[in-house]
Amino acid sequence: MHGRSLVRTLDAGAIIIMVIAVATLGLMAWTTRLIDHSAFENEATLVRQSLTGLAADFRSDLPPPGVNGDGWLARNVQGHALFSVSAAGRFVASRAASRISGLLADEGTAARLEQALKALERIDPAGERVDLVRIGPPRDENIAFVALTRDGLGQNRLAIGLIDFAPLTATLEGFGLQLQPVAAQPGDILHANGRLGIDGLDGDPVAYLGWRSERISRTITGLVLPVLAAALALGLFVLMLLRRYWSQARDGFMGELRQVEALAHTDPLTGLPNRRALFDHLQTVAPATRSFPPMTVLMLDLDGFKSVNDQHGHQAGDRVLKLAAEVFSTELGASAFVARLGGDEFVAVLPDILGDGALQRLHYHLQQSLRQRVPMEGLVPIGVSIGAASSTQETGDGEDLLKMADLAVYAAKAAGRGVAMTYHPDMKRDIAYRRMLERELRGAILTQALFVAYQPIVRALSGEVIGYEALVRWQHPVRGVIPPADFIPIAEKSDLIIGLGNFVLDRALAELGPRGECRISVNATGRQLLAPGFSDFVMDALARHRVVPGRLCLELTETSIISDPDSLATIMKTLQGQGIRFAIDDFGAGYSSLTHLLRFKFDVLKIDRGFIESLDDKPEAPMIVTSVVSLARSLGMQVVGEGIETPAQQRFLASAGCGALQGYLFGRPVPIGQLGLAEDPKLTTLDSPVQAA
Ligand code: C2E
Ligand code: MG
Ligand code: MG
């Protein structure tokens, strides 16, 4: 996962944990409150019922009406008293002495009891109620049951019974409640979690009873909550640690990535942007897709650098390159994009059009600066040749400008050192250009900048792939992929074609050799065949790549077999004797085709693309093609039609008796990796258009 999104995920995780924790705590608090409340209700009911039970006992203990209360008291009940108010004052049962009589001695208590007696006489003449009053002096107050009773004289008396809390406490303890001492005010009950007001005669609480019990909330707040909080804190802590770790790791990674990016776009020696950065810049400021502002691309090639390197070593060379980079950067100004392309080549992209006068002045200025700032290593002065290309309406994109500047700098170098030139289309035709291309091509063969593309050759009727033609390509550092038509003719004029041709042959055998039984067609030239040791080279390459000779077909164009036809015929014969086949390529494009056919014994004839193109518009073309096919067949040659682009062309050639076809209709030349063939496949039909045709 990407570092940033991981940190975001961790943040989101922390928030989610917090929200869930708060919600859980809220829910727990709410449910425990509910549970606590219902527990309290139950406990209060229990306490009330216990009190009611005691009250009922008290009532049943009272002497029946008319019984001498004092005697009854003596016989029956300790801790009860009878209290009467008569004209003579009040009467307190002597047997209830000790504790209760002490409490009744209190003035306030007597007054309260008198009030209670009067009230009961009024509201309870039948003597059925049991009520509660507080008796005793302040700070020694107790709660007592009171009820109306009648003595033997028919006198109303107040029966008083101290509540004995001992059995009540014992009963409630059985239910897990610890009863607290009676309190006159609710605030006096200190350690209770349940509390009940005990109502007196007037309905107001006369006292309060408190109790303690095990509540679920206590368990939760005392145990679950701390554990939960600790787990939450730990979880958050771990998340924070992870987040910290990841953001540090991410920052480090991003930093490294930026460094790698910067390094990938920087020339390590001079610190200037490198080739890759230059192409990125050109694509940004001068893209192919839209118009871009006026600009000039300068290709700057150091003069004298090679001798410095050769005579004074690489360190001296590196010093010169660094100083030259500084000169270009400072003198061309901040608006210029200066890059090192490689070797002693620099490129500057300027944001305006540079006329020839301005170019010459700039060149003079740069030459002066280089002379002043770059010390002469030995006796070699360092200068610069410049090729310039400015944007016009016709120019393509930035990369096209670079290619033009590249051609211009070669023209400048060819014209003598220390010259600045603006691009002109004629430069492409110049001898200097050809020489430059030849020199570069020599380097390309050495540095493996050449690669091979393969185009399928198919059976005319079925479209089944029977082989491939190897076609060379040149990946130029500035000008991109260069087609063979641009450099083969140059290579053919020198021995370069031998190295190039042998390279393609070897590469094609190596790449196509392991792929099934397909035929391998490779272009060759007379010059290549005539080079000493060619036959041995071919046989050796076949053996090395384990390819049977019968799979190889060498294609020769008519023009390439003009010189020394006798020797050529001999070599062809030797190789044909080994099983290798020969094709005459681009048949009809040359001028002495029939002579060639008779002189050399070709196995295959490839009809030139020009004939196929003219099938549509030249009335005589179909007849010529048909004749060529029948002539070839009568000479025992297989015929391949080249440049087939339409199903109509395919149909015509197939009906004319042409056995094999090649062209964009069946596939363009592509590098081996894009051929889409597994090793050692059974070659089958390429695509449906052929079938449909
Ligand atoms: P060729 O041997 O006749 O190769 C066929 C050329 O026609 C190829 O061009 C191919 O891309 C092109 N072609 C194929 N099908 C079609 C089509 O349907 N329409 C059109 N318009 N063109 C098609 P390419 O690759 O540019 O090669 C040009 C010539 O360069 C070749 O012509 C061949 O003579 C020469 N060449 C290529 N590679 C080598 C090589 O390794 N050695 C030598 N000596 N010559 C080579
Ligand atoms: Mg060919
Ligand atoms: Mg051809």
Each residue's pLDDT tens digit, 210-257: 888 887 777 777 777 788 888 888 888 888 888 888 888 888 888 888
Q: Which ligand lies nearest to the CA atom of residue 606 in the structure?
A: 3
Classify strands 296-303 and 345-350 as parallel, antiparallel or unpaired. Answer: antiparallel
* Cα 458 to averaged position of ligand 1 atoms, centre (Å): 16
pLDDT in tens, 592-607: 567 778 888 999 999 9
pLDDT level of residue 682 (50, 70, 90 thresholds): very low
Which DSSP string do the residues of 111-153 spell out, in sequence order?
HHHHHHHHHHHHH-TT----EEEEESSTTS-EEEEEEEEE-TT
For the chain, the residue count is: 693
- Give the mean pLDDT of 252-281: 88
Rounded CA gap, 545 and 35, in Å? 88
Distance of CA 347 to the CA centre of its chain: 35
Q: For 155-164, 364-373, 615-624, which range has the lowest pLDDT when averaged over its residues?
A: 155-164
pLDDT-above-90 percentage for the chain: 37
CB-based burial, 121-146: b 16+ in 10 Å, e otherwise: eeebeebeebbbbbbbeeeebbbbbb
* Cα 403 to averaged position of ligand 1 atoms, centre (Å): 23
> Does 290 score more than 60 pLDDT?
yes
User: What are the C-alpha distances in Å from 115 to residues 86, 121, 135, 275?
Assistant: 13, 10, 13, 114
Position 693 scores a pLDDT of 27
Position 365 scores a pLDDT of 96
pLDDT in tens, 69-78: 565 554 545 5
Order of strands across the sheet that contains 89-92: 89-92, 80-86, 156-162, 142-150, 131-135
Identify the CATH number of the domain defined by range 275-423: 3.30.70.270
Question: What top-level class would CATH report for the domain 451-674?
Answer: alpha beta
Amino acid at 353: I
Position 96 scores a pLDDT of 46
Position 143 scores a pLDDT of 80
Give the residue, 167 or 352, on which the prediction is more confident. 352
pLDDT level of residue 540 (50, 70, 90 thresholds): very high
Give the residue, 123 or 393, on which the prediction is more confident. 123
* 3-class DSSP assignment, residue 200: coil
- Give the mean pLDDT of 368-387: 84
User: What are the C-alpha distances in Å from 648 to residues 315, 467, 652?
Assistant: 65, 22, 6
Give Cβ neighbours of residue 202 (< 8 Å, ≥ 6 apart).
119
- Per-residue tokens: 24: 């859980």
Rounded CA gap, 494 and 435, in Å? 11
pLDDT level of residue 86 (50, 70, 90 thresholds): very low
CB-based burial, 510-549: b 16+ in 10 Å, e otherwise: ebbbebbebbbbbbbbbbbbbbeebbebbeebbeebebeb
pLDDT level of residue 66 (50, 70, 90 thresholds): low
* Cα 524 to averaged position of ligand 1 atoms, centre (Å): 12
Ligand 1 atom at minimal distance to the Cα of residue 608: 3
Q: What is the mean pLDDT of the chain?
A: 84
Beta bridge partners of 385: 301
Rounded CA gap, 60 and 38, in Å? 33
pLDDT in tens, 556-567: 988 888 778 889
Position 298 scores a pLDDT of 97
What is the DSSP code (8-state) at residue 425?
G
> Does 546 score more than 70 pLDDT?
yes
Closest C-alpha among 494, 495, 485, 626 to residue 557: 485
Distance of CA 115 to the CA centre of its chain: 90
Ligand 1 atom at minimal distance to the Cα of residue 471: 38
Position 473 scores a pLDDT of 95
Position 83 scores a pLDDT of 60
Position 552 scores a pLDDT of 97
> Does 40 score more than 90 pLDDT?
no
Rounded CA gap, 564 and 599, in Å? 12
Burial class (CB in 10 A: 0-12, 13-18, 19+), 252: exposed
Position 91 scores a pLDDT of 39
Rounded CA gap, 457 and 683, in Å? 11
The continuous run of DSSP H or E covering 131 comes out as strand 131-135
pLDDT level of residue 180 (50, 70, 90 thresholds): confident
**Number of C-beta neighbours around residue 336 at 10 A:** 15
**Which residue lies with its CA nearest to atom 4 of ligand 1?**
471
pLDDT in tens, 637-665: 999 999 999 999 999 999 999 999 999 99
Q: Which ligand lies nearest to the CA atom of residue 504 in the structure?
A: 1
> Does 161 score more than 80 pLDDT?
no
Residues with CB under 6 Å of ligand 1 are 455, 471-472, 483-485, 488, 501, 504, 523-525, 555, 557, 585-586, 609, 642-645, 662-664, 669
pLDDT level of residue 555 (50, 70, 90 thresholds): very high
**Which residue lies with its CA nearest to atom 19 of ligand 1?**
643
* Cα 536 to averaged position of ligand 2 atoms, centre (Å): 22
- Per-residue tokens: 323: 């100083």
Rounded CA gap, 689 and 531, in Å? 43
pLDDT in tens, 415-472: 888 899 999 988 877 777 778 888 889 899 888 899 999 999 999 999 999 999 999 9
Rounded CA gap, 327 and 332, in Å? 8
Give the residue, 371 or 221, on which the prediction is more confident. 371
Classify strands 660-662 and 450-459 as parallel, antiparallel or unpaired. Answer: antiparallel
**Which residue lies with its CA nearest to atom 43 of ligand 1?**
523
Instruction: Calculate Rg over the CA atoms of the chain.
Output: 57
Order of strands across the sheet that contains 296-303: 337-342, 345-350, 296-303, 383-390, 420-422
* Cα 233 to averaged position of ligand 2 atoms, centre (Å): 77
Closest C-alpha among 484, 525, 470, 472 to residue 662: 470
> Does 575 score more than 90 pLDDT?
yes
Beta bridge partners of 384: 302
Cβ proximity of 672 and 452 under 8 Å? yes
**Number of C-beta neighbours around residue 685 at 10 A:** 14
pLDDT in tens, 498-507: 999 999 999 9
Rounded CA gap, 577 and 226, in Å? 96
> Does 82 score more than 70 pLDDT?
no
* Cα 458 to averaged position of ligand 3 atoms, centre (Å): 15
- Give the mean pLDDT of 268-275: 94
> Does 482 score more than 50 pLDDT?
yes
Rounded CA gap, 53 and 575, in Å? 129
